[in-house]
Amino acid sequence: MIIIPAIDIIDGKPVRLYQGDYNKKEIVAEDVFDTSKNFEDLGAQWVHLVDLDGAKKGKLVNSNIIIKVAQSLSIPVEVGGGIRNFADIKYLIDNGVSRVILGTSAMEDENLLKKALREYGEKIAVGIDCKDGYAYGRGWLQESSIHYIEFAKRLEKLGGKNIIVTDISKDGTLDGPNVDMLHELKKEVSMNITASGGIRDISNIKALKEIDVYGAITGKAIYAKTLSLEEAIKVTREE
């Protein structure tokens, strides 16, 4: 399992939200680039960037800083938030982003998803953001009638290799990830599953390692210092 530290971006600054609520944001660091570089220096294998302005507006907003990070780090960067057309996917990958995360567009535009998977394969991940078992889109503001397991199965049939699963009710709460939900999903699909949302401490990392997910995204726990990134990386590398 790999640990992927996260930076959510609003107005060019690293922030954290509580349960995806844009009205409950806190700035957690001064600079996106410096924070990314620090994660790399601590041994992170990937960095996860989310353009929260983009997720809300449905188009890339903070692309300048995202591209700067992607081109400056020696570790790969994955990016999500507001990526709703093929031109943006191509722009990000052409400029150094290693993996593009589709969320709303994967739910609403199957043709775009198919084209992206056909052209870029494993460089595409799909974010399954859900609450009470159902997927949400448009920056977590819009509920769908798609159950998360059915959505994941559909993605696998289309050739998806990577999914990032977030229980919105857990995100930013430090209440622990929804391990049961992830465990159920693992029984149904063979894609790489990255867990996101709710991670508080090293016990949560161990619980996710136990069910053998591909990765774990953590942000607030690192900023709140309830989780040491270095310790988390060390634990996941132990046999």
**What token pair was written down for 139?**
């920056």
Active-site annotation holder among 8, 88, 167, 171: 8
Catalytic residue among 51, 88, 129, 171: 129
Q: Assess contact for 95 and 101: CB atoms under 8 A.
A: no
CB 120 within 8 A of CB 100: yes
Is there a contact between 152 and 163 (Cβ–Cβ < 8 Å)? yes
How far is CA 12 from each of CA 27, 48, 183, 239, rounded to the nearest angstrom?
10, 15, 35, 39
Q: Distance between the two ends of the chain, CA-based, in angstroms?
A: 11
Burial of 52 (0-12, 13-18, 19+ CB in 10 A): buried
Q: What is the DSSP letter of 28?
A: -
Based on the residue annotation, tell me whether 21 is a catalytic residue of this protein. no
Rounded Cα–Cα distance for residues 50 and 197 (Å): 13
Active site residue 8: yes
The upper half-sphere exposure of residue 181, i.e. CA atoms within 13 Å in the direction of its Cβ, equals: 27
Indicate which residues carry an active-site annotation: 8, 129
